[in-house]
Structure 1
Amino acid sequence: MTDRPNVLVPIQILEGESIPEGVPGLLANAHVVLLGYHVIPDQTAPGQARMQFEERATQRLEEFEEMLEEAGATVETRLVFTHDGQTTIDRMIYEHDCIAALVPKATGPPEDVLVAVRGTVGVDRIARVVAGLFRETGVAVTLFHLAAEDETDEDVQTLLDGVADRLVELGMDERAIRTRIGRGTDPKQAIADAADEYDAIVMGESDPSIATFVFGMRAKQVAERFLGPVIVVQRERPEAESDGNPGEDSSDEPQ
């Protein structure tokens, strides 16, 4: 039995962002950490902002929570007023042991998902997310790797077959797993081009900064070139960070 993967879904709760169409179905088998956050000016105290906006923000957060739960997800919510949105996201990923974070965009009912496999690092974590979300759902997953110049198709196929075997071990139907090899020099464009045929992308984080990858330039570039949601599987937390905070922000305590 595959456990529900913890997936962070950050929403700028007072900036008009919402849960896009199709996302609840995509995360039906996840444990969602739903983060409603609002970035406030440096001169504004988080407690002051909470007093002013908490009721409206909480109401919206509860509406989104209900949407996700109706689709089948388990949900815990956090509401944070902060001076640094990225650091808050970073901290929430660590505090709630989220294996993935979602760049939320609208999609149809998930039927075909592209899984970008960039190398052997993090492959097991990617497999755990994919199997946890899509095992026994009828969703087809395509394992995609952009080959380097010195990689043969046989080398890449061996890598992808290994990921497929791990997915089967985790309960995926092997008939729902496909493989695809790409060639090119721009990984972001190659992934985005390949993803045009799919409802969502699952891709591994490679940048040391979680927040930068999820909401910074790399993920932003992929998301801008692709209309659907992107699930970014987080790197394993380094041992050196296991007892410390990944970064301090000026948030009030989440509720």
Structure 2
Amino acid sequence: MHEKPTILLPVRILEGESLPEGTGKLLSNVRVLLLGYHVVPEQTAPGQMQMQFEDRAQDRLAELESALESAGATVETRLVFTHEGQKTIDRMIYEHGCLAVLVPDMVRDLDDVLVPIRGTVGVDRLVRVVTGLFADTDASITLFHVAEPDETDEDARTLLDGVADRLTDVGIDEERIRLTIRRGDGALDSITEAAESADAIVMGETDPSIATFVFGMPAEKVADRFVGPVFIVQRERPDGIERD
């Protein structure tokens, strides 16, 4: 039995955001930290805004929680009124040990999951997320690597073989795993082109800035150009970053 990873699902709770169809089913095998948050204008105290809108926000949060739980997800909720939404999201990632953040979008039938691989850094966390989400499904897992100009085909294959071995070790049938190596195009264009035939993406956070984990580069660009859910696997908590 594989360990359930914790996935952060942030929702702007007072701005009419809803969960796209199929989100509950997609998250049915994991733990979900459902974060309802509202960014308060600088001139307004968060506590004042919370007193005014907390009941409305809690009601909406409860609706979303119920929808996820009815699909089988294990859900924990947090409601935050804050001046700095991104810092709040970052803090939740570290406080609750979230392995990935979901950028939700329409969920089609889960036939193929695209997993771009850059290198060996973060592979443990990537494997845990892919396993938690998809081990109990029939979805094919496409391990995708854009080779560097000085990288040999053998090195690229060795990289993907290593990740494939990790996935089979935790119970994913090797027949479900496909390996794809591409050269020539830029990484972002290659990933988004490959994503056209995928139903979901699981990719590592590649920007060195923690603050841009989902709204930054390049993961956010992929999410913008891909019609489907994108899971962004988080880096390890860096030294020197303290919880608020």
Q: Is TM more than 0.5 here? A: yes
Q: TM-score, normalised by structure 2?
A: 0.96
- Matching residue of 2:68: 68
- Matching residue of 2:108: 108
Q: 2:229 and 2:34 mapped to 1: Cα distance?
A: 16
More deviation in 23-32 or 178-187? 178-187
Q: 2:184 and 2:57 mapped to 1: Cα distance?
A: 44
The answer on whether the counterparts of 2:207 and 2:217 sit within 8 Å (CA) in structure 1 is: no
- Matching residue of 2:227: 227
SS at match of 1:235: coil
Q: Where in structure 2 are the equivalents of 1:156-171 lying within 5 Å?
A: 156-171=156-171
Percent identity over the alignment is 63
Give the Å deviation of 1:153: 2.1
The answer on whether the counterparts of 2:5 and 2:129 sit within 8 Å (CA) in structure 1 is: yes
- Matching residue of 2:193: 193
Deviations 1:89-112 (A, max 9, x none): 111101111011111111213221
Whether 1:123 aligns to 2:113 is no
- Matching residue of 2:149: 149
The answer on whether the counterparts of 1:189 and 1:225 sit within 8 Å (CA) in structure 2 is: no
Q: What amino acid does structure 2 have at the position aligned with 1:135?
A: A
Alignment length, in residue pairs? 244
The answer on whether the counterparts of 1:136 and 1:173 sit within 8 Å (CA) in structure 2 is: no
Whether 1:173 aligns to 2:135 is no
SS at match of 1:133: helix
The answer on whether the counterparts of 1:22 and 1:110 sit within 8 Å (CA) in structure 2 is: no
Q: Where in structure 2 are the equivalents of 1:1-255 lying within 5 Å?
A: 1-241=1-241, 244-245=242-243, 248=244
SS at match of 1:144: strand
Give the Å deviation of 1:186: 2.1
The answer on whether the counterparts of 2:29 and 2:132 sit within 8 Å (CA) in structure 1 is: yes
Deviations 1:42-71 (A, max 9, x none): 011111111111111111111111111111
Give the Å deviation of 1:154: 2.0
Give the Å deviation of 1:185: 4.2
Give the Å deviation of 1:204: 0.5
- 1:206–1:83 CA distance, 2 compared to 1 (3 A): same
Q: What amino acid does structure 1 have at the position aligned with 2:48?
A: Q
Deviations 1:110-155 (A, max 9, x none): 2211001111111111111101111121111100011111112221
- Dislocated runs of 4+, deviation >3 Å: none
| Aligned CA-pair RMSD | 1.3
Give the Å deviation of 1:157: 1.1
SS at match of 2:33: strand
Q: 1:184 and 1:18 mapped to 2: Cα distance?
A: 39
Give the Å deviation of 1:158: 1.0
Give the Å deviation of 1:211: 3.3
Q: What amino acid does structure 2 have at the position aligned with 1:84?
A: E
